Amino acid sequence: MQRRATVGAVAGNFVEWYDFFVYGSLAAVIGPLFFPAADPTTSLLTAFAVYGAAFVARPIGALVFGNLGDRIGRRITLSAVILVMSGASFLIGLLPTYAAAGPLAAVLLVALRLIQGFSAGGEFGGAASFVVEYAPPNRRGLYGSWITVGFGAGLAFGAIVGAAVSSILSPEQMSSWGWRIPFLVALPLGFIGLYLRLRLEETPHFEAVKSERKDVRTPILFVIRTYPREIVVGLGVLVASSLPTYIFYVYVPSYLAVTKTTTLREALTLTVISLLVYVALLPIMGRLSDSVGRRPMLIGGATAQIVVGYPCFWLLNQHSFGLALTAFVLFAVAAAPLNSQLAVFSSEMFPTVVRYGGVSIIYTFANMVFGGGTPLLMTWLTAATRNPIVPGYFIVGAGVISLLSALALRETYRKPLADA
């Protein structure tokens, strides 16, 4: 049951993040279609603004789905989440462009992105809680790392689909109808994820809480009132996960394509290779944390990003595919230790009665503040300063914040999960 639960949660997580991030990987194509402008950078800025708008809805989704997940269960809530996300993605693939519908096209795109953001707010906290609650006590780090594997694999698959479509089709075909394909793929993927999740049983920890009547009436309010320190420390740790990830895997591919540093296909190929390295390292790092603890992995991961932030962006701007590939792989290696711990360290901070909501709050708010607007901010700052190295400074700063937060974190790897 433990393995089946992990497969179901991770498969759904994969579909959820594929749906959410495919927009970012195609921003360079979508921008001119929905927000035409004389300057390609202006269209990209607007496309990234819409990308960031989805993050405004994520905290609302975290509060709504987090409350439901701690009240009625992880399984049914996660099933609803994946239906909402896949449906919104599919509809984006059917939208008319600005040429066909004028400003209405942009309005509809923003509305569907907000729905996607609302859904994404309920995904990570539920999937993390589900897997960690099913995991053997001495393997929670390993099992929890698979949630981030689902996240990375979803990004990679989105980039693979985007790269494949852009390789097969001409730029004109891509702009005409090819961009729709990755979004339309979301619907069958969503049904697969839904099927896997509906076959799962509720976690033993949640069932114990319900049977012993230990649950609380309003879990979200309870967790905010009772665990403020955990929320603040957790948010700080997640800075080095949120900001650098959105810089490298959302902003950089479109930046490279728009500035003609590489083609869109090459940029997406770099992304795929980096994500494959990243995904391969995650279970190794997760298993290691079951032996040495969560804090050493978080501290080491934050420090690694401090070290590589500037060199990575220097390499990216040498107009060399080989050096750009080095930068992408270097970032993947540096990001894996910290990101492998996201599900387990955050789940271990909260008891079962409020775990879904607690994890959802810290993950979603960190991504809203340090993730959603990052591609837009980096595009604007790079254009305004004419300094393409600027994003590297932000990665270094994020690493410093997470390092200080990880030092303040209490070690939890040898403690049993609390139910109440």
Q: Which residues, 6 or more positions from 237, have their beta carbon under 8 angstroms from its beta carbon? A: 298, 302, 338, 345, 402, 405, 406, 409
Of the candidates 190, 210, 186, 231, the one whose C-alpha atom is nearest the C-alpha of residue 74 is 210
Q: 78: which 2 tokens?
A: 């996660």
Greatest CA separation for the chain:
64
Q: Is 73 left (phi over 0), alpha (psi -120 to 50) or beta?
A: left
- Output the tens digit of pLDDT for each of the chain's 420 residues: 667 777 777 877 788 778 777 887 787 788 889 988 777 777 877 887 887 788 889 999 999 999 999 999 998 999 999 999 999 999 999 999 999 999 899 899 999 999 998 998 999 999 999 999 999 999 999 999 999 998 888 888 887 887 788 788 888 898 899 999 999 988 998 898 888 888 888 988 999 888 877 777 888 899 999 999 999 999 999 999 999 988 988 888 878 877 777 777 788 889 889 999 999 999 999 999 999 999 999 999 999 999 999 999 999 988 889 999 999 999 999 999 999 999 999 999 999 999 999 999 999 999 888 887 788 889 889 888 989 899 999 999 999 999 999 999 999 999 999 887
3-class SS of residue 417: coil
* Whole-angstrom distance, CA of residue 31 vs CA of residue 35: 5
Which position has the token pair 């070690």?
Answer: 411
Which position has the token pair 């599919």?
Answer: 90
What DSSP assignment string belongs to 51-95?
HHHHHHHHHHHHHHHHHHHHHT-HHHHHHHHHHHHHHHHHHHTT-
3-class SS of residue 332: helix
Of the candidates 52, 60, 158, the one whose C-alpha atom is nearest the C-alpha of residue 110 is 52
Q: Where does residue 407 rank: exposed (0-12), middle (13-18), buried (19+ CB within 10 A)?
A: middle
Residue 165's pLDDT is what? 85
Helix extents (H) in 321-386:
321-339, 342-348, 355-367, 374-385
Is 416 domain-assigned? no
For residue 373, the domain's CATH number is 1.20.1250.20
The answer to whether the beta carbons of residues 30 and 3 sit under 8 Å apart is no
Task: With residue 108 as reference, give the H or E element that holds it.
Answer: helix 103-120
Is 186 domain-assigned? yes
Q: 92: which 2 tokens?
A: 């984006």
The answer to whether the beta carbons of residues 323 and 315 sit under 8 Å apart is yes
Q: Give me the domain span that covers residue 387.
A: 2-408
* Whole-angstrom distance, CA of residue 12 vs CA of residue 193: 5
How many structural domains does the chain have? Answer: 1
State how far the alpha carbon of 224 is from the alpha carbons of 67, 69, 231, 324, 410, in Å: 12, 16, 8, 42, 18
* Whole-angstrom distance, CA of residue 241 vs CA of residue 370: 9
Task: Report pTM.
Answer: 0.88
* Whole-angstrom distance, CA of residue 379 vs CA of residue 376: 5
Cα dihedral 59, 64, 66, 69, rounded to 10, equals: -160
Is 417 domain-assigned? no
